[in-house]
Amino acid sequence: MSHLVHRSLRSDPPLAVRGEGIFLYDADGRQIIDGSGGAAVACLGHGHPKVIAAIKAQLDKLAYAHTALFSCDSAEALADVMVGHAPGGLTHAYFCSSGSEGNEAAIKMARQYFLEIGQPQRVNFIARRQSYHGNTLGALSAGGNAMRRAPYAPILSKAFHHVSPCYPYRDRRDDESDAQYVARLVAELEAEFQRLGPDTVIAFMAETVVGATLGCATALPGYFEGVKAVCDRHGALLILDEVMSGMGRCGTLHAWEQEGVSPDIQIVAKGLGGGYQPIGGILVHRRVIEGLSRGSGAFMHGHTYQAHPVACAAALAVQQVMAEEKLLENVRAMGARLKQRLTERFGNHRHIGDIRGRGLFWAVEFVQDRATKQVFDPALKLNERVKQEAFRRGLACYPMGGTIDGRHGDHAILAPPYIATPEQIDAIVEIFGEAIDAVLAEVRA
Ligand code: PMP
């Protein structure tokens, strides 16, 4: 047995020894298609020479300088690329090492902002059920993934309150139009503000497209405009977590560009550095920075490895490659193909209840019965079996279990690298379909 703490303490995973393009290779030289980029991370695929060269060049110049004393070229350049043109009024960037750290920074900056502008009574956050914001305690408190929260529930922060996500597949009533359902969700948020006291709320937090917990659940038109209006009415901030859905994954650089709103604080990670280095961050609206600047003039937060020179050099190169190779266009084109192939393959499948997503970020939700939407018994571990079977057939995908409260079924996510070709998209769906059918045949038997 290995001395490393793996996700499973009972078995060791295979060793990944090499990556090239959309492929990973294990110690036996077996080729695996990285059909989900890990967890929607590897946006450029593996082994991109320009990113590797940028990392080496940065290491040759400077590996590390503490941010209490210095800034560095690569972090400054990355901030310029990300917010130099002030997308949606976002003018400042803070870089850390993961999505969870990004969420912690967003939570603390939002609280500090209200303290500095003379509203210390704001102490509550409203987030959503069936969401995921990370595994550190603040981010886990914000999240609504019942399974991940359960073991730690007694030690989570009581400052976080939860409303329903936008999940029409299960939550829109049969007698409701999309617009009526959206209006009901917006009213639910308004009621939660009223329950807590509207001037006690710091922010509403949401994933722009729900990633791991629900599986690529996009909001209906008007939803984000509705919730933003509630935040504005009560002077609260809108925090959008785009750790999984952002940085091009949904076909625009930021997923919020397709929602008619922009956030006050946005969290980014995965596709920012594409897995070449651990990096996450927050992008911040000028009004929040102005509030902090007029007050103490400091963000009372920080990490030893924030704005790390090598991580920032890697992310800068990833973003440059995305622009040079016009990869957003490929995300949109290959995303349309992925949607079409999934619909052809699973549109009438008796155990696939929903096919949903955007860009190169798609999921299928498993049901026992399409008409009743009855979920599979979690004890069957359908998601785990799909993962194993796909892997055996040469495809890495990203399945998740249904919630322990039975509010949604098992699902599996595909999130191929942005460089994927039409043939590769077809191969991914083919193997995915074969693996799913094999597992379902076994489960039925
Ligand atoms: N937010 C979202 C939306 C995520 O998908 C994730 C990771 N799956 C996180 C936050 C946490 O990021 P990390 O694992 O890098 O801490």
- What's the 444 CA to ligand 1 centre distance in angstroms? 34
Coil vs helix vs strand at 163: strand
Q: Please check the confidence at residue 405 and state whether its pLDDT lies above 70.
A: no
State how far the Cα of 385 lies from the Cα of 441, in Å rounded to an integer: 12
* Cα–Cα dist 421/123, whole Å: 48
For 368-392, the pLDDT digits (tens) are 999 999 999 989 999 999 999 999 9
Length of the chain: 445
- Residue 320: pLDDT band (50, 70, 90) is very high
Q: Determine the distance separating the centroid of ligand 1 and the alpha carbon of 256, expressed in angstroms.
A: 17
Give me ligand 1 centre to Cα 99, in Å: 5
Measured in whole angstroms, the distance separating CA 125 from the mean position of its chain's CA atoms is: 19
Residue tagged 């009024």 (tokens):
89
CB 230 within 8 A of CB 193: yes
CA separation for the pair 267, 38 (Å, rounded): 19
Contact criterion met (CB below 8 Å) for 93 and 305: no
Q: What residues line ligand 1, using a CB cutoff of 6 Å?
A: 39, 98-100, 103, 132-134, 207, 211-212, 241, 243-244, 269, 280
Residues with Cβ within 8 Å of residue 241, at least 6 apart in sequence:
99, 102, 103, 106, 131, 133, 205, 206, 207, 208, 266, 267
Task: Evaluate whether ipTM surpasses 0.90.
Answer: yes
Which atom of ligand 1 approaches the CA of 99 most closely? 12
Which atom of ligand 1 is nearest to 210's Cα? 3
> Strand 411-414 relative to strand 398-400: parallel, antiparallel, unpaired?
antiparallel
**Average model confidence (pLDDT) for the chain?**
96
Q: Look at residue 404 in the predicted model and tell me its pLDDT.
A: 63
CA-proximal residue: ligand 1, atom 1 (nearest): 133
In this prediction, residue 400 has a pLDDT band, given cuts at 50, 70 and 90, of confident
Structure tokens at 226: 């509705």
Smallest CA separation from ligand 1 atom 5, residue: 244
- Say which CATH topology domain 51-324 has: Aspartate Aminotransferase; domain 2 (3.40.640)
Is 289 in contact with 392 (CB distance < 8 Å)?
Answer: no
Instruction: Examine the pLDDT at 406 and tell me if it is beyond 90.
Output: no
Question: Which atom in ligand 1 lies closest to the alpha carbon of residue 101?
Answer: 16
Q: What is the pTM of this model?
A: 0.98
pLDDT-based confidence at residue 55 (cuts at 50, 70, 90)? very high
Residues 6 or more apart whose CB falls under 8 angstroms from that of 362 comprise 216, 335, 338, 339, 342, 355, 356, 413, 414, 415
Atom of ligand 1 nearest to the CA of 241: 3
Angle between helices 178-196 and 223-233 (to 10 degrees): 20
How far apart, in Å, do the first and last CA atoms of the chain sit?
Answer: 34
Distance between Cα 266 and ligand 1 center (Å): 13
Q: Mean of the pLDDT values across residues 306-327?
A: 98
CA distances from 151 to 86, 147, 155, 336, 402 (A): 41, 8, 9, 39, 17
> Mind listing the pLDDT tens digit for each residue in 62-87?
999 999 999 999 999 999 999 999 99
C-alpha 187/C-alpha 191 separation (Å) is 6
Protein residue with least CA distance to atom 13, ligand 1: 99
Measured in Å, residue 38 CA sits from the centre of ligand 1 at 12
Distance CA 367, CA 357 (A): 17
Q: H or E stretch including 57?
A: helix 49-61
Question: Using one digit for the tens of pLDDT, what is the confidence trace for 251-273?
Answer: 999 999 999 999 999 999 999 99
Domain 16-47+328-444 has CATH 3.40.50.720: no
Q: How far is CA 347 from CA 65, 167, 212, 354, in A?
A: 53, 19, 22, 8
Which atom of ligand 1 lies closest to the CA of 131? 3
- Measure Cα distances from 327 to 77, 218, 417 in Å: 20, 22, 10
Query: Which tens digit of pLDDT belongs to each residue from 223-249?
Result: 999 999 999 999 999 999 999 999 999
Give 371 Cα–ligand 1 centroid separation in angstroms: 33
Question: How far, in Å, CA of 356 to CA of 430, rounded?
Answer: 18
Asked if pLDDT for residue 139 goes beyond 90, the answer is yes
Reply yes or no on whether the pLDDT at 403 is more than 80: no
Atom number in ligand 1 closest to CA 136 = 16
Distance 298 CA to ligand 1 centre (A): 26
pLDDT band at 326 (very low <50, low <70, confident <90, very high): very high
Which atom of ligand 1 approaches the CA of 212 most closely? 5
Output the DSSP codes for 65-114: --TTT---HHHHHHHHHHHTT-GGGEEEEEEESSHHHHHHHHHHHHHHHH
Tell me how far the alpha carbon of residue 15 lies from the centroid of ligand 1, in angstroms. 23
Ligand 1 centroid from CA 89, angstroms: 24
Q: Using an 8 Å Cβ cutoff, are 302 and 123 in contact?
A: no
Rounded percentage of the chain residues whose pLDDT exceeds 70: 99
Is there a contact between 327 and 416 (Cβ–Cβ < 8 Å)? no
- Domain extents in the chain: 16-47+328-444, 51-324
Cα 74–chain centre separation: 24
pLDDT value of residue 401: 82
- 149-173 per-position pLDDT tens digit: 999 999 999 999 999 999 999 999 9
CB atoms within 10 A of CB 422: 12
How far, in Å, from the CA of 101 to the mean position of ligand 1? Answer: 9
Confidence check: pLDDT of 444 > 70: yes
Q: Which atom of ligand 1 is nearest to the CA of 134?
A: 11
**What is the rounded radius of gyration, in angstroms, for the C-alpha atoms of the chain?**
21
CA distances to 86, 365, 402 from 374, rounded to whole Å, are 46, 11, 11
Nearest to 182 by CA among 231, 235, 225, 145: 225
- For residue 354, the surrounding DSSP H or E stretch is strand 352-358
